[in-house]
Amino acid sequence: MKVPVIMLSSVTELHSYIDRTQLTQELGGTQEYCHEKWISHRTAIEGFALMVKKTAQTLQSFGTELAETELPNDVEATSNLLTVHTDKKDKMKSSLDILLNFSFCVPQKKVDELGEVFFHSRSVFISVSRLLGQLDETETAFDDFWDKHQTKLEQCLQLRHFEQNFREVRAHLDMVYDRLSGFSEIGISPAHVEHILKELTNHEERHSTAKTLTLACDADQLIEASHYAVDSILPKCSELRAVCEEISSILKAKKAYLLKAMELHQCLEKATKWCDDGIYLLASQPVDKCQSQDGAESALQEIERFLETANQHKLTDLSGIWRDYESVLTQDFRVDKVFQKQLSMQEMFEKRRVSLKKLAAKQTRPVQPVAPRPEAIIKSPISSPAYVEELLCVLEGYGAEMDNPAMAHLIPNTLLHKKDILFGNMPEIYQFHKKTFLRELEAYTDYPELVGRCFLERMTDLQIYEKYCQNKPRSESLWRQCSDCAFFQECQKKLEHKLGLDSYLLKPVQRITKYQLLLKELLKYSKGCEGEDDLQEALSSILGILKAVNDSMHLIAITGYEGNLSDLGRLMMQGSFSVWTEHKKGHAKVKDLARFKPMQRHLFLHEKALLFCKKREENGEGYEKAPSYSFKHSLSMSAVGITENAKGDNKKFEIWCNSREEVYIVQASTPEIKTAWVNEIRKVLTGQLKAYREARQQKSSDQISQLTPTSTSLTLSPFKTNPKTLKKGEEKKTEPTAADPSTAVSLKNNDKVKGQSALLNIHIYGLTTHSMVKTFSKAIFLILHRKYMTSVSQ
């Protein structure tokens, strides 16, 4: 192709060929043109095109990398991979945003600036626009790919979490399944079984079953969300539900097993409690009261009422127990032991019933009974060596074994170092009977009517039983805590005893009560014999010991007393009363607010004090059912007075102090009890008066030497009264002075005193001679003695 070439000689000639608007100003045209700007723009556009190309290649490479990445098999690695890929994606998006922002401003601006002058420049911009379009398409494709990739990574992370939780739950379910499959515990009591049931239900079911079902629900949600690993999730979900149902079935069976065991425990516990209550009933019946016909009938009725409850508590059919509870019955239940204890209890009750029926039987007339020979009575089991042998058997078979190292592993912690509590002073009782008392009783076999002397000689030694009985509640409480331990079972097995240790620990309590029965029988058939008086005195002493034992059992139950009860002297009497109080303020008497509702108080009369306590019934078993007494207040016997009759009621009497500022109206249940208490209090006050009189006579000479002529007044009488308050016909009330509170005694008698009140509160002025003081003191004591004898006679 030939191109024509025209040679021009001037710029004007050029204008005839090319329009001025297409020529630059240098050639006479109107087109603005800067070569430097053109070069700058060209360079920028070519650089942009290069960036677009590189970015597109980077996106393609990153997409390929993501597509070829292998998914991890654990939660941590999957989570890290998702984080790394997300960071890279964010950086790529930032680069794309920069290019896109640049592309929207540069190409259009350059086209506007250059206009349509340079055709080839327009072609360049068109190429750049095409590259931008390709970049936009690449970004869109990458975004779609990333969404799918991110979803897959997130589902992978969910799958790894599910698989990890599945492994943990499955391992725990396997452990629970294995434990439940080998579960055979039946507990040792209803409370223990209930605790096992609660733990089994609350822990296993809540923790295992609930967590398993929650994980199964999570798996269902993954399946509904079209998870890519449905084929892997679905079998695991079905497996979880199957194992959960199996464990629930086992739990249900175990609960039924434990409930059956609890039912048997409750039956055995009822039977055991019935036996223990029976032992306590037999031990708590006062033997001395049972000797009368009314007392025997009352005790017999009490036993009959107790035996009426037997069918509700005791085991009736041993074979039926084995049949009904075959699925849970093991040797741990000790059904045979409870059944044997029940039979022994019934035998003891039957013996007691026979004995009480004989005592309660009314004899219309004597039928000339054949009296047993006294030597036959003395040869009864009371004086046989069987009792001593039983004590020795217990001390060696149980007590000595507690110190045996070979048996140490069988002794529970609650029993360690508590042999003295469990056995009390049984070793002392054994030594006394073996070395002394049994031999002396045997010496009277040919002269049984003289055995009272033996008891009288050893009455002080027999008081060791009081110490044993005082310890019995602590011993029984300890026995209850560990009666089922392997140590006692092993000892009983070695000794071949049918009864448990608790039956043998009761022997000394039964023994001291049998002594008074022996003496009563001997006294009954020794009328007119040489030793009758000794037998009567010995019987009274034994009954005194029994009363002291009974009183001491109440005394040790006092709580809240801060001092030492032994400092109050011997316990004289104790009993329950209704008590009203009156307090005198000025000239007015103020009764308690609840004046018509008396306080129920248990009184303890000691030689030096009278204690007021509140009786509280306990809900325990055996000795633990014995009441306790909360100490309220006390009155010193050196500061009290009594009024035998109060308000015309033959069951009431008054105890008062501080010139009747405090008055306690005490009501007994019967007139006989009231009389006994009044007499006993009067004996205490009489003893104090005698002691005061002796002490006063001994100190009279010393007190006289201390008197001076300048003494303004001196009260020689140990009693003070206010003559102004005495009216005709009013009772005379006396009160100890503060001069000697340890020995002063207050008495109140019902005698009307005339003309003697002045002598009871006399002031002496200027007594200087020994004879005057001595004569006056003697007169006062004669008056006091006459007053006291008058009150006693009344």
Per-residue pLDDT band for 759 (boundaries 50, 70, 90) equals very low
Residue ranges in 115-227 assigned as alpha helix (H): 119-181, 190-199, 210-224
Mean pLDDT of the chain: 75
Predicted local confidence at residue 326, as pLDDT? 62
For residue 602, the cross-strand partners are 576, 613
Residue 788, pLDDT above cutoff 70: no
**In angstroms, rounded to a whole number, what is the distance separating the alpha carbons of residues 776 and 782?**
10
- For residue 752, the 8-state DSSP code is E
Residue 591, pLDDT above cutoff 60: no
Separation of CA 146 from chain center: 66
Predicted local confidence at residue 383, as pLDDT? 53
**In angstroms, rounded to a whole number, what is the distance separating the alpha carbons of residues 686 and 688?**
5
528: left (phi over 0), alpha (psi -120 to 50) or beta: left
Instruction: Give the start-to-end residue ranges of the domains of the chain.
Output: 1-32, 34-163, 230-361, 379-550, 558-685, 697-793
In b/e form, how buried is each residue of 437-448, taking b as 16+ CB within 10 angstroms?
Answer: bbeebeebeeeb
> Residues with Cβ < 8 Å from 200, sequence gap 6 or more?
251, 254, 255, 258
Per-residue pLDDT band for 425 (boundaries 50, 70, 90) equals very high
User: Three-class SS string for 661-694?
Assistant: CEEEEEECCCHHHHHHHHHHHHHHHHHHHHHHHH
Q: Which CATH class is domain 379-550?
A: mainly alpha
Predicted local confidence at residue 523, as pLDDT? 85
Structure tokens at 171: 């391992």
Residue 431, pLDDT above cutoff 60: yes
CATH of 558-685, one of 1.20.1180.10, 2.30.29.30, 3.40.50.300, 3.40.390.10: 2.30.29.30
* Main-chain phi, psi angles of 755, to 5 degrees: 75, 5
Per-residue pLDDT band for 363 (boundaries 50, 70, 90) equals very low
Q: What is the pLDDT of residues 518-531, one digit of tens each?
A: 888 888 888 888 88
Task: Tell me the percentage of the chain whose pLDDT exceeds 70.
Answer: 72
Residue 419, pLDDT above cutoff 80: yes
Burial of 242 (0-12, 13-18, 19+ CB in 10 A): exposed
Residue 679, pLDDT above cutoff 90: yes
**In angstroms, rounded to a whole number, what is the distance separating the alpha carbons of residues 720 and 772?**
21
Q: What is the pLDDT of residues 315-353, one digit of tens each?
A: 666 666 666 676 566 655 567 777 778 788 788 888 888
**In angstroms, rounded to a whole number, what is the distance separating the alpha carbons of residues 718 and 733?**
13
Q: Are 315 and 342 in contact (CB under 8 A)?
A: yes
Predicted local confidence at residue 365, as pLDDT? 43
Burial of 13 (0-12, 13-18, 19+ CB in 10 A): exposed
* Tally of CA atoms within 13 A in the half-sphere of 605 that contains its CB: 18
User: When comparing pLDDT for 507 and 174, which is higher?
Assistant: 507
Residue 680, pLDDT above cutoff 80: yes
Q: What is the pLDDT of residues 92-128, one digit of tens each?
A: 878 777 776 765 555 454 444 444 434 345 655 676 6
> Residues with Cβ < 8 Å from 429, sequence gap 6 or more?
391, 464, 465, 468, 508
User: When comparing pLDDT for 315 and 764, which is higher?
Assistant: 315
Task: Tell me the percentage of the chain whose pLDDT exceeds 90.
Answer: 13
Per-residue pLDDT band for 667 (boundaries 50, 70, 90) equals very high
Highest mean pLDDT among 352-366, 460-474, 765-779: 460-474
User: When comparing pLDDT for 455 and 356, which is higher?
Assistant: 455
**Which of 231-245, 333-347, 401-415, 730-744 is least confident?**
730-744
Predicted local confidence at residue 440, as pLDDT? 87
Q: Are 314 and 274 in contact (CB under 8 A)?
A: yes
**Which of 196-205, 400-409, 600-609 is least confident?**
196-205
Per-residue pLDDT band for 194 (boundaries 50, 70, 90) equals confident
DSSP one-letter string for 456-505: HHTHHHHTHHHHHHHHHHHHHHHHHHHTTSHHHHHHHHHHT-SS-HHHHH
Q: What is the pLDDT of residues 369-400, one digit of tens each?
A: 444 555 544 444 455 678 898 999 999 999 99
Segment 278-291 mean pLDDT: 72
Residue 270, pLDDT above cutoff 70: yes
CATH placement of domain 34-163 = 1.20.58
Predicted local confidence at residue 620, as pLDDT? 55
**Which of 62-76, 469-483, 485-499, 745-759 is least confident?**
745-759
**In angstroms, rounded to a whole number, what is the distance separating the alpha carbons of residues 475 and 468?**
10
Structure tokens at 128: 């750049």
For residue 733, the cross-strand partners are 748
**Which of 251-260, 484-493, 583-592, 637-646 is least confident?**
583-592
Residue 132, pLDDT above cutoff 60: yes
Q: Is 167 helix (H, G, I), strand (E, B) or coil?
A: helix
**In angstroms, rounded to a whole number, what is the distance separating the alpha carbons of residues 587 and 661?**
10
Segment 491-497 mean pLDDT: 88
At position 167, the amino acid (one-letter code) is R
Predicted local confidence at residue 537, as pLDDT? 92
**Which of 533-547, 591-605, 712-726 is least confident?**
712-726
**In angstroms, rounded to a whole number, what is the distance separating the alpha carbons of residues 75 and 255?**
39
Rg of the chain over all Cα atoms, to the nearest angstrom: 55
**In angstroms, rounded to a whole number, what is the distance separating the alpha carbons of residues 374 and 382?**
13
For residue 655, the cross-strand partners are 642, 664
Q: What is the pLDDT of residues 40-69, one digit of tens each?
A: 777 877 777 787 778 778 877 887 877 777
Segment 147-172 mean pLDDT: 84
Per-residue pLDDT band for 649 (boundaries 50, 70, 90) equals confident
Residue 783, pLDDT above cutoff 80: no
Segment 553-560 mean pLDDT: 83
DSSP one-letter string for 305-335: HHHHTHHHHS---HHHHHHHTTTT--GGG-H
User: When comparing pLDDT for 525 and 417, which is higher?
Assistant: 417
Q: What is the pLDDT of residues 86-98, one digit of tens each?
A: 888 888 878 777 7
User: When comparing pLDDT for 515 and 112, which is higher?
Assistant: 515
**In angstroms, rounded to a whole number, what is the distance separating the alpha carbons of residues 222 and 724?**
106
Q: Are 747 and 756 in contact (CB under 8 A)?
A: no
Predicted local confidence at residue 322, as pLDDT? 62
Residue 729, pLDDT above cutoff 50: no
The H or E element spanning position 633 is strand 628-636
Segment 544-554 mean pLDDT: 82
Q: Are 665 and 579 in contact (CB under 8 A)?
A: yes
Q: What is the pLDDT of residues 212-256, one digit of tens each?
A: 778 888 888 888 777 777 787 888 888 888 888 887 787 788 788
Q: What share of the chain is helix, strand, coil (3-state, %, to 5)?
A: 65, 10, 25
